[in-house]
């Protein structure tokens, strides 16, 4: 069965520091992978997606993610976080047209 | 253009009552999805409509849950005889093209959600 694991429930990072959020997936075929962000009281916003091709994908708000098939990972990174990046981040895999989400990682940004 | 809209934004209901949650997808989007977000279960798929095909109801947690999509556009999620464990945020999403070969096929755009509280 397909699954998505986000090992870190909560991450605290200083403003201006780099951020990396981990995502591991279990999927039989080439996965379609996504990262979404959810700010407090808001819906989910798509940050970036991977379908095929280049394993390093660029997204909105300065985020990027790297697909590593050998490690079954799709980690999200940002070189320098801003206070507005405080939110919950979800990794997801497409499963026959439906999204299967990880448990999410809450990011707190400190001054 | 306008995004996915959902109403109401908040709903408080008594245990045992029926509720209806509405979703207006992005105009022209052929696929519509319902998800549930709760503290205990995270984000869960509920049901998926694609064009005129029979919906994929594999995520509905019980027969108290049902959904319909009228005219290929607006969708209503109905929960009958609500229970306290139904308390959650119900999210609707839509996506555009019908051809899986198009990159946008799998991009789902989410509404702000309806927060349901069952007392």
pLDDT score at B99? 52
Interface test with B, best of A99, A104, A106 (most B CBs within 10 A): A99
Q: What is the tens place of the pLDDT at every residue in B58-114? A: 999 999 999 999 887 899 999 999 999 999 999 999 987 555 555 555 688 999 999
Span A55-82, average pLDDT: 95
**Cβ atoms of residues B86 and B21 within 8 Å:** no
Report the sign of the C-alpha dihedral through residues A105, B2, A100, A43, in that order. Answer: positive
Q: Count of alpha carbons within 13 Å of A76, Cβ hemisphere only? A: 31
Q: Which residue of B has its CA nearest to A94?
A: B106
pLDDT score at B1? 55
Cα-to-chain-centroid distance, residue B116: 13
Residues of B in contact with A32 (CB under 8 A): 106
Interface test with A, best of B26, B102, B110, B112 (most A CBs within 10 A): B110
Q: Does A42 touch chain B (CB under 8 A)?
A: yes
Q: What is the tens place of the pLDDT at every residue in A93-103? A: 988 788 999 99
């Amino acid at each position: 069965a397909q699954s998505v694991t986000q090992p870190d429930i909560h991450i605290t990072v200083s403003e201006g520091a780099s951020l990396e959020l981990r995502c591991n997936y279990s999927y039989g075929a080439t996965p379609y992978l996504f990262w979404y962000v959810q700010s407090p009281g808001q819906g989910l916003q798509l940050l970036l997606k991977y379908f095929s091709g280049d394993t390093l994908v660029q997204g909105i708000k300065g985020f990027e993610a790297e697909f590593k098939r050998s490690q079954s990972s799709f980690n999200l990174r940002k070189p320098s976080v801003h206070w507005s990046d405080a939110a919950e981040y979800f990794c997801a895999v497409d499963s026959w047209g439906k999204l299967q989400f990880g448990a999410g990682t809450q990011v707190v940004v400190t001054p | 253009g306008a995004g996915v809209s959902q109403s109401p934004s908040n709903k408080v209901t008594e245990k045992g009552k029926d509720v209806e949650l509405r979703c207006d997808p992005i105009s022209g989007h052929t696929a519509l999805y319902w998800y549930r977000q709760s503290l205990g279960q995270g984000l869960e798929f509920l049901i998926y409509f694609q064009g005129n095909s029979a919906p994929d109801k594999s995520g509905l947690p019980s027969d108290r849950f049902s959904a319909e999509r009228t005219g290929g556009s607006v969708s209503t999620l109905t929960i009958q005889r609500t229970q306290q464990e139904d308390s959650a945020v119900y999210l609707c999403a839509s996506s555009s093209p019908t051809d899986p070969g198009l990159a946008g096929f799998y991009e789902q755009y989410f509404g702000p959600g309806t927060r349901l509280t069952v007392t």
